[in-house]
């Protein structure tokens, strides 16, 4: 036993096993949790950006868009998430230069950055988990880490049927990703074991639907409160005008907050938000406005 | 020394050239110079010297003009009494918006800043309209409702056209390092709004021409200057970045002339105009520096990232200013209209009359 351990240690030293970062990244997928170890000395910039993006939620609700059993399981680009990236998240994504290491091979469990075919320095967010050895990729794609735990989760993901383009027939979502800063913190984590894919999918859809409904319920509550306060002021016969104006300001801004993020791909909504804002500014100019003009003293 | 009461009313406050320059003439001259000179840059970026000079003007013109609004509201008991909601409730609401933006920096802050970005050019336009109506009244050129609508269509059209043009793209913009989105309005909207703008301008000029032909009344040149300046600022000047960085200063100059005149007119301290001017200027310089330089630093010292503190606080201060400005300067209010439209002339040495 000791001899085998010593042999493995010698082998890893001889073959230059990459040094791992103290942090671990956990991808909470619909099939269970995958734990990634990263190689900061081999691919420093790639690892730095990957950690940064995970910390800022860029990989939350992304998915594995390409499945070739025995070869790769590849994520989509971050822009292809269920929940659109925020502007700050988009600003964080940078192109990464190639960081090849001659002594590190593409083998099952390796994490390898995807990139456009004609741009070796074009990697950004999409990456592959190797499902088998792929020596033909060595020296062409940046290896930045490995799957340290969750092999059985990979097995569940590999079972998903796919079409002729190797697109999984079920969206293989990453519910969220997180960075665990220390080994001690990782020890304290309770990792989800491999779960049958269908159960994971139903759970994710339930969570997303709940969050989306919560946001719209929040908006409805705010607007209801504003309408009620106006109605109360009208019934009491006091302060209706200022209450209406204040409610217009608050309600207008809250509506803007909800609708402006949705306007980007909807020209009609963008127009409504734009013109509605202008009308709101115009209306607010009458706030605490004096009555009709009186004769000017000469 | 108290201001001299001139027997005939004058359309200007200080001197024709001074009023014309402050109302927008200076900006037209600057734009003309920029277009004809080596300053003109097609690179899409303002020249470094222009940025430095605009930054200097920010301290002595832009920021004080914000302070002057709050000073006018808070230092006059009549204003506090007449506008209690503006005095007490609006700062609370704006403060809530600021705190929400600082707390939810990714979901609220970009849209708080966006809201300010949309409101800002509207505010510039509303001021231009107010100043046009003020000078028209002082010049004895009564503006009918139809003429007002035509002028408003032109002036507000400049705001709508320039803003819609900027909102065609969904590409994120940056304000003090905080990105905010574009809306993505259709380009056809820009065309429609341009038609409204040019139509309103043409109609107003037609009305003016008809008045001249029928009644011999000449449209005061300062109204044309204000309208032309507004057009240059938003529709044309946009394409000259080295000029465009000065637009806030020109807008502030418009405001400061009126606010200063009002301060002198309402002076009850017994102090001379020079002292009142000096005190008022110092207060507003310090007030502006406090709001725009010191306050973001204080918030940053409390742990908020510097860019976020600057972007959110500066947006919030300006939103507050837009609100207050729209309330306290209504010409419908006799306390505003009387001092500004009754004949009054600033006693410059060359214009001083024998007692």
Please name the residue that has the structure tokens 């691919």.
Answer: A43
How far lies A8's CA from each of A11, A37, A107, A147, in Å?
5, 19, 17, 19
Structure tokens at B155: 């002036």
What pLDDT is attached to residue B350?
39
Confidence of residue B331 (pLDDT cuts 50, 70, 90): low
- Cβ of residue A17 closer than 8 Å to a chain B Cβ: no
- Whether residues B119 and A242 touch (CB distance < 8 A) is answered with no
CB-based contacts of A1: which residues, under 8 Å, 6+ apart?
none
The Cβ of residue B14 has, within 10 Å, a number of other Cβ atoms equal to: 18
Residue B139 has pLDDT above 70, yes or no: yes
Q: Please compute Rg for chain A using Cα positions.
A: 27
Contact B209, B218 (CB under 8 A): no
- Whether residues B332 and A91 touch (CB distance < 8 A) is answered with no
Contact B253, B22 (CB under 8 A): yes
- Whether residues A297 and B342 touch (CB distance < 8 A) is answered with yes
- Whether residues B89 and A246 touch (CB distance < 8 A) is answered with yes
Give the whole-angstrom CA distance, residue B294 versus residue B225: 36
Among candidates B178, B19, B207, which has minimal Cα distance to B104? B178
Tell me how close the Cα of A289 comes to any Cα of chain B, in angstroms.
6
* Residues from chain B contacting residue A270 (CB–CB below 8 Å): 167, 183-186
Contact A273, B118 (CB under 8 A): no
- Cβ of residue A278 closer than 8 Å to a chain B Cβ: yes
Residue B280 has pLDDT above 50, yes or no: yes
CB-based contacts of B298: which residues, under 8 Å, 6+ apart?
none
Whether ipTM > 0.85 holds is yes
User: Tens digits of per-residue pLDDT, B164-199?
Assistant: 998 988 777 778 878 788 888 999 999 999 999 999
Comparison of pLDDT for B321 and B76, the residue scoring more: B321
What pLDDT is attached to residue B2?
39
- Whether residues B167 and A274 touch (CB distance < 8 A) is answered with yes
The angle subtended at Cα B128 by Cα B232 and Cα B328, nearest 5°, is: 155
pLDDT average, residue stretch B22-30: 94
Tell me how close the Cα of B197 comes to any Cα of chain A, in angstroms.
15
What pLDDT is attached to residue A170?
80
pLDDT average, residue stretch B31-35: 86
Residue B222 has pLDDT above 90, yes or no: yes
Give the whole-angstrom CA distance, residue B18 versus residue A203: 71
Structure tokens at B277: 């001017």
User: Tens digits of per-residue pLDDT, B241-262?
Assistant: 888 889 999 999 999 999 998 8
Give the whole-angstrom CA distance, residue B47 versus residue B351: 40
Confidence of residue B162 (pLDDT cuts 50, 70, 90): very high
List A180's β-bridge partners, or say none. A24
Structure tokens at A2: 């000791």
- Whether residues B172 and A87 touch (CB distance < 8 A) is answered with yes
Structure tokens at B290: 């406090």
Residue B43 has pLDDT above 60, yes or no: no
Q: Which residue in chain A is spatially nearest to B159 when comparing CA positions? A: A278
Contact B68, B284 (CB under 8 A): yes
How far lies B222's CA from each of A131, B11, B24, B140, B340, in Å?
76, 9, 8, 13, 16
User: Tens digits of per-residue pLDDT, B297-317?
Assistant: 999 999 888 889 999 999 999
The angle subtended at Cα B231 by Cα B226 and Cα B234, nearest 5°, is: 120
The Cβ of residue B300 has, within 10 Å, a number of other Cβ atoms equal to: 16
Structure tokens at B275: 């002292």
- Whether residues A274 and B183 touch (CB distance < 8 A) is answered with yes
- Whether residues B332 and A292 touch (CB distance < 8 A) is answered with yes
Among candidates B150, B59, B67, B162, which has minimal Cα distance to B120? B162
Please name the residue that has the structure tokens 């793209």.
Answer: B169
| Displacement of CA B241 from its chain's centroid (Å) | 19
Tell me how close the Cα of B70 comes to any Cα of chain A, in angstroms.
16
DSSP of B226-254, one letter per residue? HHHHHHIIIIIGGG-HHHHTTHHHHHHHH
DSSP A80: G
Lowest mean pLDDT among A221-225, B95-99, B215-219, B275-279: A221-225
Residue B40 has pLDDT above 70, yes or no: no
Structure tokens at A237: 């016969």
Contact A34, A147 (CB under 8 A): yes
* Residues from chain A contacting residue B159 (CB–CB below 8 Å): 278
Tell me how close the Cα of B123 comes to any Cα of chain A, in angstroms.
8
Contact B181, A260 (CB under 8 A): yes
**Mean pLDDT of all residues in chain B?**
86
- Whether residues A88 and B83 touch (CB distance < 8 A) is answered with no
Helix ranges (DSSP H) in chain A? 2-14, 44-55, 87-92, 151-158, 183-188, 197-236, 240-259, 267-284
Please name the residue that has the structure tokens 């001659």.
Answer: A102
Q: Is the dihedral of CA B323, B326, B329, B330 positive or negative?
A: negative
- Contacts with B, A 26-55, CB within 8 Å: none
Per-residue burial over A270-294, b if 16 or more Cβ lie within 10 Å, else e, is bbebbeebbebbeebbebbebeeee
Please name the residue that has the structure tokens 């969570």.
Answer: A207
How far lies A44's CA from each of A56, A91, A94, A144, B33, in Å?
18, 20, 14, 8, 52
- Cβ of residue A163 closer than 8 Å to a chain B Cβ: no
Residue B339 has pLDDT above 50, yes or no: yes
- Cβ of residue A246 closer than 8 Å to a chain B Cβ: yes
Chain A to chain B Cβ contacts (< 8 Å): 119
List A28's β-bridge partners, or say none. A33, A176
3-state helix, strand, coil in chain B (%, to 5): 75, 0, 25
What pLDDT is attached to residue A293?
46
Q: Which residue in chain A is spatially nearest to B90 when comparing CA positions? A: A246
Residue B26 has pLDDT above 90, yes or no: yes
* Residues from chain A contacting residue B163 (CB–CB below 8 Å): 274, 278
Among candidates B22, B206, B58, B31, which has minimal Cα distance to B131? B22
Instruction: Say how many Å lie between the first and final Cα of chain B, rounded.
Output: 12
Confidence of residue B42 (pLDDT cuts 50, 70, 90): low
Give the whole-angstrom CA distance, residue A75 versus residue A66: 7
* Residues from chain B contacting residue A250 (CB–CB below 8 Å): 93
Q: Which residue in chain B is spatially nearest to A273 when comparing CA positions? A: B183
Confidence of residue B38 (pLDDT cuts 50, 70, 90): low
- Averages of pLDDT over runs of 10 residues in chain A (298 residues) are 43 61 93 94 95 94 92 90 80 92 91 92 95 92 94 89 84 90 88 74 63 76 84 79 84 88 83 94 80 43
- Cβ of residue A90 closer than 8 Å to a chain B Cβ: yes
Q: Which residue in chain B is spatially nearest to A252 when comparing CA positions? A: B115
Phi, psi at B169, each rounded to 5°: -85, 145
Q: How much of chain B exceeds pLDDT 90, in percent?
A: 55
């Amino acid at each position: 036993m000791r001899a085998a351990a010593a042999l493995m240690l010698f082998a890893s030293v001889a073959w230059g096993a990459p040094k791992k970062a103290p942090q671990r990244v956990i991808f909470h997928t619909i099939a269970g949790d995958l734990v990634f170890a990263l190689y900061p000395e081999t691919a420093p910039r790639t690892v730095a950006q990957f950690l940064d993006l995970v910390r800022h939620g860029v990989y939350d609700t992304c998915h594995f868009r390409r499945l070739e059993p025995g070869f790769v399981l590849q994520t989509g680009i971050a822009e292809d998430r269920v929940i659109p990236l925020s502007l700050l998240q988009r600003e964080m994504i940078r192109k990464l230069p190639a960081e090849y290491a001659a002594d590190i091979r593409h083998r099952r469990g390796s994490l390898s950055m995807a990139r456009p075919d004609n741009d070796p320095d074009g990697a950004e967010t999409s990456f592959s988990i190797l499902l088998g050895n792929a020596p033909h990729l060595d020296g062409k794609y940046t290896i930045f880490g490995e799957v340290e735990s969750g092999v059985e989760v990979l097995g569940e993901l590999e079972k998903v049927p796919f079409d002729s383009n190797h697109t999984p027939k079920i969206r293989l979502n990453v519910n969220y990703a997180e960075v665990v800063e220390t080994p001690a913190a990782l020890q304290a984590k309770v990792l989800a074991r491999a779960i049958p894919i269908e159960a994971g999918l139903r759970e994710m859809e339930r969570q997303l639907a709940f969050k989306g409904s919560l946001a719209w319920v929040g908006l409805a509550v705010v607007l209801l409160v504003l309408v009620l306060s106006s109605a109360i002021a009208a019934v009491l016969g006091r302060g209706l005008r200022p209450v209406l104006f204040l409610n217009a300001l608050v309600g207008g801004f809250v509506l803007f907050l909800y609708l402006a993020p949705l306007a980007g791909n909807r020209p009609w909504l963008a127009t409504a938000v734009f013109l509605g804002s202008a009308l709101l500014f115009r209306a607010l100019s009458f706030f605490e406005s004096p009555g009709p003009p009186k004769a000017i003293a000469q | 020394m108290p201001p001299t009461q001139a027997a005939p009313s004058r359309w200007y406050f200080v001197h024709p050239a001074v009023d014309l320059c402050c109302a927008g003439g200076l900006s037209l001259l600057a734009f003309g110079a920029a277009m004809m000179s080596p300053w003109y840059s097609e690179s899409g970026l303002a020249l470094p010297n222009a940025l430095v000079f605009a930054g200097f003007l920010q301290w002595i013109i832009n920021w004080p003009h914000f302070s002057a609004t709050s000073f006018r509201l808070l230092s006059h008991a009549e204003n506090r009494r007449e506008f209690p909601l503006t005095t007490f409730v609006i700062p609370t609401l704006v403060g809530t918006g600021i705190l929400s933006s600082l707390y939810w920096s990714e979901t609220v802050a970009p849209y708080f800043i966006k809201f300010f970005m949309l409101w800002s050019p509207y505010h510039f336009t509303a001021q231009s309209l107010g100043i046009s109506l003020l000078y028209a009244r002082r010049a004895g050129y009564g503006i009918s409702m139809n003429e007002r609508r035509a002028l408003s269509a032109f002036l507000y059209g400049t705001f709508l056209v320039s803003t819609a043009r900027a909102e065609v793209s969904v590409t994120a913009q940056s304000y003090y390092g905080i990105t905010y989105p574009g809306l993505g309005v259709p380009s056809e909207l820009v065309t429609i709004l341009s038609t409204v703008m040019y139509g309103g301008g043409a109609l107003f000029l037609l009305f003016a021409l008809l008045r001249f032909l029928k009644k011999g009344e000449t449209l005061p040149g300062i109204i044309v200057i204000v309208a032309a300046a507004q057009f240059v600022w938003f529709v044309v000047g946009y394409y000259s970045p080295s000029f465009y960085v000065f637009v806030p200063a020109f807008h502030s100059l418009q405001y400061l002339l009126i606010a200063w005149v009002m301060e002198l007119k309402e002076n009850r301290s017994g102090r001379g105009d020079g002292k009142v001017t000096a005190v008022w200027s110092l207060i507003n310089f310090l007030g502006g520096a406090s709001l725009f330089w010191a306050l973001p630093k204080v918030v940053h010292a409390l742990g908020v990232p510097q860019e976020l503190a600057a972007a959110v606080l500066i947006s919030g201060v300006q939103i507050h200013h837009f609100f207050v400005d729209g309330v306290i300067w209504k010409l419908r209010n006799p306390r505003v209209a009387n001092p500004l439209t009754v004949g009054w002339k600033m006693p410059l040495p060359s214009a001083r009359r024998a007692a």
